[in-house]
Each structure stands twice: as C-alpha cells, then as structure tokens.
Amino acid sequence: MLLPINTIQTQMQARGGGALTTFLSNFEHGMLSGLRNLYRALGPTVFMLGARQGVKFGSGAFYKQQLPLEWPEMARDAVAGAASACTGTTLLYPLDTLKTRYQLGLPAPLLSQVYYGFLPAVCYSSSGSMPTRLERRLEERICCTAASHLPVPHTRPFRAPLYRRSGALDCQSQRVGAQHAGAPGVLALLETLPMRRHSGVRCAGDADEPRGLPAKAARQGAIRRRATNAALVRRSPRRSLARLCSPRRASLRCASQIPTFPFDTLKKRLQSVEVPRSSLEEARVLLAQGGPFRFYRGFWVKCLFVSLNGAVFNTVFVAVRRMLRMQD
C-alpha cells in the first residue's frame, strides 16, 4: 500500500529530482507503465520486510539476554536494538539492494554488487533502531500504573464489571477481574490492602483483620478502583490505537530520521552504481551536487512514509494480536 511512496523517495535520493518531477517521470510511457514502475519492487519488499521483523525481534531478544543485568534497562534495549539491526542488515542486504535497483528501473545486481553501500546501511539501521527502542521503553514507563508502579502487560481485556453498584468490591470478582485484566501488579496491590466490609462481603483468610474506620476504607476502595480501572482503560482498543498512532509518536519517528537520513541516501546511491565507489567518494559527489541539503533530498517523503507506516503497522498488529488472543 505504501510502496509507491517509498519508490518516489528512493528515486529522489538517487537522482536528486523533485517530488512532482520524479512522480511524473514514472508515467512517461502511460498509466500501466507508471504503475508497473511504482510496484516493480513489491516482491523483494514483502519478503524482506517479513523476514526483517522476525530477525530483528528474535535476535534482539537473544542479544538482550546476553547483556549484563547490572546495566540500565534503557542501555540494554539500545545495545540489543543496534546489534539486532546490524544482524538483520547483514543477512537481508542483498534483498535490499535488489529492491533499490528495481525501484530505480535498473536490472538485478550481480553477485559482486549485492553488498555495495553496506557500511552506510549498517550505520543507518543501527543508529535508527536505538531511538525507536528507547521510545518504546519510555512509553512503557509512562503507561505503568501509579498505584502499583509496575507495567501492565498486554493481555486479553476483561469486559465484565468489577464493582457492585453499592460501591463494595467483592473479593472473588476482584481476584478474577485482576487476573483477566492482566495486571499482576494491581493484583499484588489489592491483596496487600484490607477489604471493605459492606453488606456482609468478606474475603477468605482475613477473619482476624481489624475493620478500620469508614474513611480509611473509603480511601482504600478508591485506590483499588483507580488501580484496576487504570489497567482496564489501558487495554481499551480505542485508547491503544490512539496512543500508537498519535501525532506525537509520528513526530518522534520523523525526528529520529534527521541524523540518520544521510546514511540512507549514501546507501541508495552506492547501490545504484555499476562501478564500486567508497562512501567518502560518494559523499564528495553529493556535496558537489547540492551541498549538505543534497543528502536530505526526499526527506519529507520519508517522513510521510514513516508516519503512515507506523500507524498502519501498529493498527494491524494490535487488531491481529487481539483476534489471536480471543481465540485462546
């Protein structure tokens, strides 16, 4: 769905033209030819993206397990993300070269050409993955419940009401609701607080517990309601999708492209050449063509692609995950 945007961006980076000129150049020989040019790299793109996600998440989890536990969590995420990005780039770079050359209307690369521009590609993928993982770690910390100070894991939402109309929390529905809400931190908090006595509702194992004052019981009930409701609200599909597809996340993704986009331009330029050149030589050629701004040709198209791609990926990911968990 978003491949034409990526094709226009690649052509702008390699040839240095404007967006409208580049787009119209694909349709010089008719509408059918233009659509063929925009979707020519569909096969290698689909295969590469599917394999990249598996390699990235699988190797990232493996590398994180090998790192010392004494390191800060954000540092472990950043190092594991960079290492997994390098691994994915190394294994799938021939497909990326094939995709780039197809988008530029060039023939398939020779065996000696599949790793042209590999050094800028490694720099781009490793430096670009760290802001993404740090952003996800910060989002997880923000989404921690204030009552339990523990992150709420993503599990199947519990739709049954947890509270009686009288305001008292039944002990059995409390434990079942917290388990289905997927909130062990909330469950631990609820078990440490004394239950309110209302209309004869009591919990097993707390016969010797003092009753306490009504005001204290009301405060404890309010804490329990805020903690449990926070877990349920955070599992709401609309709230989850709104948070994943928010403009703030899109702006963060675009901002992370500012220091890394020149590496992507260098990579695609080197992938399109027939005679091997070093990254330094290609950087000098680009500087001679348009100065530092030549490295950012097609940047706004990249921002558009990144924003739409993140929103589409997160929306589909959340919907499929929810469907799979409903079948469990």
pLDDT in tens, 53-81: 788 888 888 998 999 989 988 888 888 88
Helix (H) or strand (E) holding 325: helix 299-326
Predicted local confidence at residue 212, as pLDDT: 47
The tens digit of pLDDT for each residue in 128-143 reads 766 555 556 555 555 5
User: How much is the average pLDDT of 218-236?
Assistant: 54
| Mean pLDDT, the chain, integer | 75
Residue 135: its pLDDT value, please? 58
197: its two tokens: 């006595």
Q: What would the pLDDT profile of 78-131 be if each residue is shown by its tens digit?
A: 888 889 889 999 999 999 999 999 999 999 999 999 999 999 999 998 877 665
% of the chain with per-residue pLDDT over 90: 38
What is the pLDDT confidence band of residue 145, given thresholds at 50, 70 and 90?
very low
The CATH 1.50.40.10 portion of the chain extends over 3-142+260-297
pLDDT digits (tens, 9 = 90+) for 243-296: 555 677 778 778 888 999 999 999 999 999 988 889 999 999 999 998 999 999
Residues near 257 by beta carbon (within 8 Å), at least 6 away in sequence: 128, 299, 302, 303, 306
In one letter, which amino acid is 50? G
Residues in the chain: 328
Gap between the Cα atoms of 132 and 214, Å rounded: 48
For residue 202, what pLDDT is reported? 45
Q: What is the rounded distance in angstroms from the CA atom of residue 106 to the CA atom of residue 38?
A: 13
Structure tokens of 39? 């979707």
Query: Which one has a higher pLDDT value, 8 or 74?
Result: 8
Domain at 3-142+260-297: CATH code: 1.50.40.10
